Amino acid sequence: MTWFQETLYDHWRQSFRVTREVTRVRGPMQEIAVFETPGFGRVLTLDGVIQVTTGDEFIYHEMLAHVPIYAHGAVRSACVVGGGDGGMLREILKHRSIERAVLVEIDGAVVDFCRQHLPSVSAGAFDDPRTRIVIADGIKYMAETTERFDLIVVDSTDPIGPGEVLFTESFYQDCARCLTAEGIVVNQNGVPFLQGAEVTDTWRRRRPHFADLGYYLAAVPTYVGGFMALGWAAASPRPRAESLETIRARFRAAPVPARYYTPDVHKAAFALPPYIQGLIGNETEA
């Protein structure tokens, strides 16, 4: 019996029973592997760290896509930084209002690999006529582009290796410049119980550049350690303050198929337990 062990912390690890290793390749930037498991389906790893599983990826992708889109109410243009598996594109493009979606992925090998070995995750999103794929460093792209977006989703790894630059103040400042008047930036911000400094540091780095900051939560089984924090930074306080009735009305008018997201989950996700609120408590009073 073969087991895969993911060790992100020196005091805790998680294991997956492997029924079959599908493939393993060394790309220009990192090792990419896919294996099959009994409980989580196909699992994608980059340098030994789990990125996505076909079993539970819908939770992460739905919450990072649908929460800002329904909160904003009129998203036409979106940019995904990272997200080479295509799952975020898939969820964003479920919305008929989307006219343009740009995927900025630093490692083109990840896109090619996921097209071949995880086609159910992108579900045709790479070939949607609204999609444009840019193989480039996300921080360089945001610093140089003249494009403006209603939504920017930073679908990155944790702040180690290639993903580290996507958690810097200069990157957030460039994202703010690339937003439309009521645009929103969302990102994965780790598991606060184990990675609390990420929550605090991101808040501090974003505070000078956005009118509205917050976090909302999702429970993704693969990302162990409790709730996952999803970062929120917006050019206007209006989208996050929209009422449940408004979100419900928008969902009824333009529903998308979802297995985790609902308007009620949307509003409830912004309620932070004290141990997470405490990570930014002093920051909100500053």
d(CA 236, CA 126): 30
List the catalytic residues: 155
Q: ∠8-109-16 over CA atoms, to 5°? A: 35
Count Cβ atoms within 10 A of the Cβ of residue 123 and give its class: 0-12 exposed, 13-18 middle, 19 or more buried.
Answer: middle
Are 237 and 211 a contacting pair, CB within 8 Å?
yes
Measured over the CA atoms of residue 199, residue 79, residue 142 and residue 121, the dihedral's sign is: positive
Spatial distance between the Cα atoms of 113 and 28, rounded to a whole number of angstroms: 12
Exposed, middle or buried by CB within 10 Å (0-12, 13-18, 19+), for 16? Answer: buried
Q: Are 66 and 261 in contact (CB under 8 A)?
A: yes
Q: What is the DSSP letter of 227?
A: P
The structure tokens listed for 15 are 């294991």
Beta strand 41-46 with 31-37 is: antiparallel
Helix H or strand E encompassing 174? helix 169-177
**H/E run at residue 51:** strand 49-53
